[in-house]
Structure 1
Amino acid sequence: MMSSLLSSLYASAKRFLSSLFHVFMDMHETEGDAEQTRLPRLPDEIWFRILTHVPAEDLQRLKSVSTSWWKEITSKKFAASHLERWRSNSPCGIIAITVPRNLSNIIFGEGVAISYLNLELNGKDERVQSRSLRLECLVNYLIHRHGMRKYSELRIDVLDSCDGIILVAIFGYYFFENTILLLVFNPVTRCYKLLPFWKSKFKRPYIEDHRWRIICSSTIGRYKIIGWIACVEFLDCHVCDFELHKQQEEGNWVSWKELRCPPMYCRSFINANLYANGKLYWLSVHKYRLGQEHVKAAALLSLDIATEEFNIVASGFPEPYPKRTSYPTHRLASNGRFYHVHYQSPNTMEIWVLDNFDNPVWTRQRAISLPCLGYDVDGDEYLVPVAILDGEEYLIMAKEWTEMFACDMRSGEWREIAMVDFDQLAPPGGQPYYVCHTDSLISWD
């Protein structure tokens, strides 16, 4: 019901915007040398309240219609109201790597696009359309503008999203040795900002893994970047506090502050992480020997964003089915909760939830019958969870990166999502990643 209502509102908003352009054009008149646009006689407050229902990308088109409206729409106040409306009442989209439908030959990932996926889940004809972020063009521009040096093939990773702003890492080029290039970018307003470079104390060949988050600070326009780099037996964790509207010296890595790292047995933080109650939480799952068997246990760690202090909330609490160490499981974070997706059998998938961070315990939420899709749950072709959208109504899954499905969590019904303008979610052999994202009008100089 809620999904259908949101879909109707979205369609109505787009029709309204189209009609609005015709109203502007019909009421446009010339007096002498000055051009004026007369608006329908409604208070501006009502107009702007209506416009919060229009997608951010469509609102960009108003720039050519009314200068005064454009100034108001790009104000911090309206941008905040628009973001809050879309973040709380609309399902977010997903940023992923896509392979365009007209691309017949893929060589080392060339020709693929980093795209925003807009899922239309209306209960009838599920479909997903992609919109290229044109991030590759921006990165190539920065490489040539700053004379970056190449050390390997170019790779662009979207690491996280916050307030419609994405955090991006550039690999393959650098200013100085052992630095990682980071930038923040709003795909709608096209604003970008190069961040102070991360200068790792580890050499590249020895880096095992890295994870990043961008979190909104307590002050408007301020954000914190938290980054972890794992290397053999060490963990490098730093935080960078920055303002969107403040210029920072390029090539300066002094802004990164090193944090006291958690114990090494907890460094498998890659399972899932989320931000809630002013803290960044992440799950760390590890195996240990119990008699003759190997079992799995989880630890929950937190990082207080204000004090920048780590805390081990709980360690050693049991995983669902802790003795099944080789059976496929997936963990993801959404809606302020951790989810554990477990394949109980080739025909059944269980979903467990963890939402009490003071006393973490996995709770079995529901079991869902899997569709007959010809996959092998013990092999590499099983369904992989992508995201949980629209509250807890839809579980989005991918099969072999070439098919997408939506499961109605209330009824257990499965429906295939038609890929409108792309064939795959990732290049063959590549590691797909998915970042939930909501478009915004936030801009900066």
Structure 2
Amino acid sequence: MKMNPVSVPNDLVFGILTHLPVKSLLRFRCVCKSWRSMISDPLFVEAHQSRSASALLISFPDMRDPDRKRTLFCINEGEAHRIPGFSHWNISQSVNGLICIYGQYSPKQSHRVRVCNPSTREHVTLPPPFFSDPDLFFQCNSLGFDPSTKTYKILRGWMADSWGPKYEIFTLGSDAWRIIKDAPEALLDTRGICLNGTIYWTKARAIEIDYSRVVMQNSMIAFHVGEEKFRWVPLPPAAPVWTSDTSSMIQIGGHIVIVDYQEVAKSISDVMIMWKLEDSLNGVWSQKRIMLPECWMQGYPGLGPFCVTSIDGGEITLIPNHLFRDWYVVHCNLEEESPRREVLSGLPQNDWNVPYPSIYCSEVSEYAESLVSLKEICRH
């Protein structure tokens, strides 16, 4: 071997390494200086991220903890792996492998907002927010990414007995929160999804028709991460009134999608309706009806209520809100429209002396491993 050394082209090494999991790559940075430089290169990080398989992040509340801290699990191909070191309260939608964790209802935790990379175990604690109130009773944080400047931002909305709603924003790498003006009068209390530099929320709001009638109307709000401005997106008239038990907002193939499953959840129909946002500026939507097989009601009893997410462009995943002893999810192929049940292993047993542990939509997030370095982001 010394007489005939083997030389592997760098581009071939680059391609091979981009297929490996983050855990292995973190170890391989110690192989040599050239590998360390390659794995840390932004081009490699981006190439690796584009090839990372999608998984799910699910958190479970610990009923024995007075603060209801949750344990975070990553689920991939039916196997659940606990992610240590991230006892948290709520998680934002994952953006490029990063998530935001925060306390939602507890005033004493209202200042603790962190951004984490579960793959590398990196995390940063953000400075105390601009707005603070001892009477805070609800807050929601959304993580956004501006692809034009490669900038990550956290948008925080909160309410208190004496205030609200208020909005502020923090840019990773800066040192202070900033107030957002011209913000919505309603609190964006649902999970935001960041897509192509814009964060979207769907919300039902009360509209006063006259002095005696108030109706609920759909609304979608978009926040441009780069311009830091809100705008309203028109929704189709037939779209469902938003509730977390009968509808979900997800992203599929680079589009925002609203899934209406209120009749499926009530076991009175086997049809789910999907509304795909084709044109965000003009509010153009397309509709797709998914006819679930007749065996759906018989094969998956007690599925509803549930939440819906997407792991890739070809499947949506249905996750029951209430699980007993058998942990499982149901995958539905959008082309074949055929569901398959996947049993999950490695999740905690129901030993909390409660009828069942609960999963809520805000605790489920699509996720892909990433080498994005918080240390590098905060250094600039």
Q: TM-score, normalised by structure 1?
A: 0.68
Matched residues in 2 for 1:227 and 1:134: separation? 26
TM-aligned CA deviation for residue 48 of structure 1 = 0.7
SS of corresponding position for 1:306: coil
1:211-360 aligned within 5 A: 211-216=141-146, 218-220=148-150, 222-231=151-160, 234-243=164-173, 248=175, 255-264=176-185, 267=186, 269-271=188-190, 273-288=192-207, 295-314=215-234, 318-320=237-239, 329-335=246-252, 336-344=255-263, 346=267, 347-355=269-277, 356-360=279-283
Amino acid at match of 1:208: F
Deviation readout 1:403-422 (Å, 9 max, x if unpaired): 32112222222221121211
The structure that has the greater radius of gyration is 1
Amino acid at match of 2:330: F
* Inter-CA distance 340–386: structure 2 relative to 1 (3 Å threshold): closer
1:171-210 aligned within 5 A: 179-204=110-135, 206-210=136-140
- Conserved 8 A contact 1:96-1:435: yes
Residue 52 of structure 1 is aligned with which of 13, 18, 42?
A: 18
Matched residues in 1 for 2:181 and 2:69: separation? 41
Amino acid at match of 1:339: I
Amino acid at match of 2:64: I
TM-aligned CA deviation for residue 365 of structure 1 = 0.7
SS of corresponding position for 2:93: strand
Matched residues in 1 for 2:191 and 2:28: separation? 39
Question: Which blocks of at least 5 consecutive residues in structure 2 are unaligned?
Answer: none
Matched residues in 1 for 2:140 and 2:359: separation? 14
Matched residues in 2 for 1:106 and 1:94: separation? 22
TM-aligned CA deviation for residue 226 of structure 1 = 0.9
* Inter-CA distance 422–53: structure 2 relative to 1 (3 Å threshold): same
* Inter-CA distance 39–273: structure 2 relative to 1 (3 Å threshold): farther
Matched residues in 2 for 1:340 and 1:268: separation? 22
Aligned to 2:98: 165
Aligned residues: 355
Aligned to 1:418: 343
Matched residues in 1 for 2:322 and 2:273: separation? 21
Aligned to 1:252: none
Identity %: 17
SS of corresponding position for 1:234: coil
Matched residues in 2 for 1:215 and 1:283: separation? 19
Matched residues in 2 for 1:363 and 1:426: separation? 45
Amino acid at match of 1:224: K
SS of corresponding position for 1:77: helix
* Inter-CA distance 171–329: structure 2 relative to 1 (3 Å threshold): closer
TM-aligned CA deviation for residue 435 of structure 1 = 1.8
SS of corresponding position for 2:35: helix
* Inter-CA distance 328–239: structure 2 relative to 1 (3 Å threshold): closer
Matched residues in 2 for 1:193 and 1:113: separation? 19
* Inter-CA distance 331–317: structure 2 relative to 1 (3 Å threshold): same
* Inter-CA distance 411–289: structure 2 relative to 1 (3 Å threshold): farther
Residue 364 (str. 1) matches residue 287 (str. 2):
yes
Moved more, 414-423 or 163-172: 163-172
Q: TM-score, normalised by structure 2?
A: 0.78
Aligned to 1:3: none
SS of corresponding position for 2:313: coil
Superposition RMSD in Å: 3.7
Matched residues in 2 for 1:352 and 1:241: separation? 34
TM-aligned CA deviation for residue 39 of structure 1 = 7.5
Deviation readout 1:164-209 (Å, 9 max, x if unpaired): 22222257999xx7851122222222322221221434334x4234
SS of corresponding position for 1:59: helix
Matched residues in 2 for 1:207 and 1:106: separation? 20
TM-aligned CA deviation for residue 263 of structure 1 = 4.2
TM-aligned CA deviation for residue 93 of structure 1 = 1.4
- Conserved 8 A contact 2:147-2:197: no
Question: Which blocks of at least 5 consecutive residues in structure 1 are unaligned?
Answer: 1-26, 30-37, 100-104, 121-127, 140-154, 249-254
* Inter-CA distance 208–442: structure 2 relative to 1 (3 Å threshold): closer
Residue 397 (str. 1) matches residue 315 (str. 2):
no
Deviation readout 1:38-70 (Å, 9 max, x if unpaired): 984221111111221222223223245445323
Structure with greater helix share of residues: 1
SS of corresponding position for 1:269: coil
Aligned to 1:435: 365
TM-aligned CA deviation for residue 240 of structure 1 = 0.9
Amino acid at match of 1:132: R
Amino acid at match of 1:308: E
- Conserved 8 A contact 1:385-1:397: yes
Matched residues in 1 for 2:17 and 2:94: separation? 23
TM-aligned CA deviation for residue 288 of structure 1 = 4.3
- Conserved 8 A contact 2:239-2:275: no
* Inter-CA distance 390–424: structure 2 relative to 1 (3 Å threshold): farther
- Conserved 8 A contact 1:405-1:416: yes
- Conserved 8 A contact 1:299-1:317: no
Amino acid at match of 1:364: Q
Structure with greater strand share of residues: 1
Matched residues in 1 for 2:10 and 2:117: separation? 27
Matched residues in 2 for 1:71 and 1:439: separation? 19
